Amino acid sequence: MELKIEQLPVSALKPYERNTRKHTAKDVGKIAESIKLYGFNDPIGIWGPECLVVEGHGRLQAAQLLGLETVPVVRLDHLSEDQRREYAIAHNRIAELSSWDRDLLKIELQGLDLSTFGLGVDPQDGFQASEDVHNLKPPKKPRAEYGSKWKLGGGVRFWSAIVRTRKRWPA
């Protein structure tokens, strides 16, 4: 199977109504800035005769923001309906699960300025904690109990699973 990149009108693409990946206006603005600076280098994956967007919703929104008339696409018609849905989720989630080689990142960042994108990148230290982490407010009455889950930032999650009692403990 050979994938071919083609250009289609933005208006011909149909966003998937149940797309599970959400982009804020700020996210779309960063994608648009990237497209302006570097070009549209990542085609949008589409499926079926209705050109349903499988992956690339953020890029499509950025293209609309920029007023682009056409965008590069790649057809994923070789996928079944279930495979299309699975791929859309896997495509987005797999990147979140990967990690960075911070030593190599520091080398790659030397002499670069990525401040335009607000990625929390420091050429000396690599990635910094995101602004969201610094703006977190604790709940009014924090509690921990068996099976509690916490999202610690940076994709780190913590589950309380080893306890000897089901009694609730103050956090």
User: According to CATH, what is the number of the domain 5-97?
Assistant: 3.90.1530.10
Q: Which two tokens mark 122?
A: 């420091």
Q: Which two tokens mark 48?
A: 């079926």
The closest of 52, 65, 46, 42 to 15, measured between CA atoms, is 52
Contact 45, 55 (CB under 8 A): yes
Convert the pLDDT of each residue in 148-161 to its tens digit: 666 666 666 665 55
Kindly report the backbone phi and psi dihedral angles of residue 25, in degrees, each rounded to the nearest multiple of 5, phi listed first: -60, -35
Where in the chain do CATH 3.90.1530.10 domains reside?
Answer: 5-97
Kindly report the backbone phi and psi dihedral angles of residue 157, in degrees, each rounded to the nearest multiple of 5, phi listed first: -125, 150
Strand partners, 121: 127
Sort strands 44-47 and 52-55 into parallel, antiparallel or unpaired.
antiparallel
Longest distance between any two alpha carbons in the chain, whole Å = 62
Please give the C-alpha separations between residue 31 and each of 26, 58, 130, in angstroms, as whole numbers.
9, 7, 17
What is the H or E stretch that residue 84 is in? helix 81-97
d(CA 42, CA 26): 19
d(CA 88, CA 139): 34
pTM exceeds 0.85, yes or no: no
Q: What is the pLDDT along the chain (171 residues), one digit of tens a residue?
A: 889 999 999 999 999 999 999 999 999 999 999 999 999 999 999 999 999 999 999 999 999 999 999 999 999 999 999 999 999 999 988 988 888 888 888 888 888 888 777 777 666 666 654 444 445 566 666 666 656 666 666 666 665 555 555 556 565
